[in-house]
Amino acid sequence: MPVLQLLVYVDDIILAGNSMTEINRIKGLLHNRFHIKNLGELKYFLGLEVARSKKGIHLYQRKYALDILKETGMLGCKPCTTPFLSDTSSLYKMENYLQDPSSYKRLIGKLLYLTNTRPDYHFRALQHVSRYIKSKPSEGLFFSADSPVHLKAFSDSDWATCPTTRRSTTGFCVFLGSSLISWKSKKQGTVSKFSTEAEYRALTATTREI
């Protein structure tokens, strides 16, 4: 049975499906009602880049990532291999307050959009993330064409890592085959007395997601 999906954003349209016959039929109907331009296979949409091959589909945001580095003046920065500082205690020491917080807010918004294909992402922390982006701007998500459709989930917790509240952090990721479809890293709502308790809370959050 043919399955079609029509995604519309302002005057940009993506038409996806498992039947080229149906796709062409819908394109013909749209062309009869509106003036449309066929750009062929999807390669770029709202900052999202698509690379197709026989092995699968690769989604990434290289241009968008490089634009962030250019806007923040960090295009020539030294790359780093991790998205976050190993020692976060310095983030809570504010020697100098920002005179113009708008640049901070703007960068936060851009990084939030970048997490569509980069699930692994205080101003100094953002600069570190920018250096991490510089190391692999073409990194993204790969959806394999040959992977079996099995649901797998992994969870973990980092016990009492918050220096101010001593709350633990929950982390999980969910895979459909070999493709990552859901992920989360969040501070837990209550303080866990033992690491085992934090692990169970993380497992509960993962189970709810599934």
Q: What is the pLDDT of residues 123-173, one digit of tens each?
A: 667 778 888 889 989 988 888 888 887 899 999 999 998 888 999 999 999
Between 122 and 42, the more confident residue is 42
Three-class DSSP category at 10: coil
Binning pLDDT at 50, 70 and 90, where does residue 109 land?
A: confident
- Contact yes or no for 20/104 (Cβ under 8 A): no
**Strands 140-144 and 56-60, sheet pairing:** antiparallel
pLDDT in tens, 174-205: 998 888 888 888 899 999 999 999 999 999 99
Between 112 and 34, the more confident residue is 34
- pLDDT confidence of residue 93: 57
Number of neighbouring beta carbons within 10 Å of residue 34: 9
- pLDDT confidence of residue 197: 95
Binning pLDDT at 50, 70 and 90, where does residue 116 land?
A: confident
- Contact yes or no for 202/156 (Cβ under 8 A): yes
All residues at 6 or more sequence positions from 186 whose CB lies less than 8 Å from its CB, including other chains: 169, 170, 205
Q: What is the 3-state secondary structure (H, E, C) of 115-177?
A: CCCCCCCCHHHHHHHHHHHHHCCCCEEEEECCCCCCEEEEEEEECCCCCCCCCCEEEEEEEEC
Could you tell me the CA-to-CA distances from 18 to 2, 48, 66 in Å, in that order?
Answer: 6, 21, 33
Question: Residue 88 pLDDT > 80, yes or no?
Answer: no
Q: Report the predicted TM-score, pTM, of the whole model to 2 decimal places.
A: 0.64
Binning pLDDT at 50, 70 and 90, where does residue 96 land?
A: low
What does the alpha-carbon distance between residue 86 and residue 128 come to, in Å, rounded to a whole number? 11
What is the percent of the chain where pLDDT is above 90? 43
Binning pLDDT at 50, 70 and 90, where does residue 112 land?
A: confident
- pLDDT confidence of residue 107: 79
- pLDDT confidence of residue 205: 93
- pLDDT confidence of residue 145: 83
- pLDDT confidence of residue 123: 64
- pLDDT confidence of residue 48: 92
Q: What is the widest separation between alpha-carbon atoms in the chain? A: 66
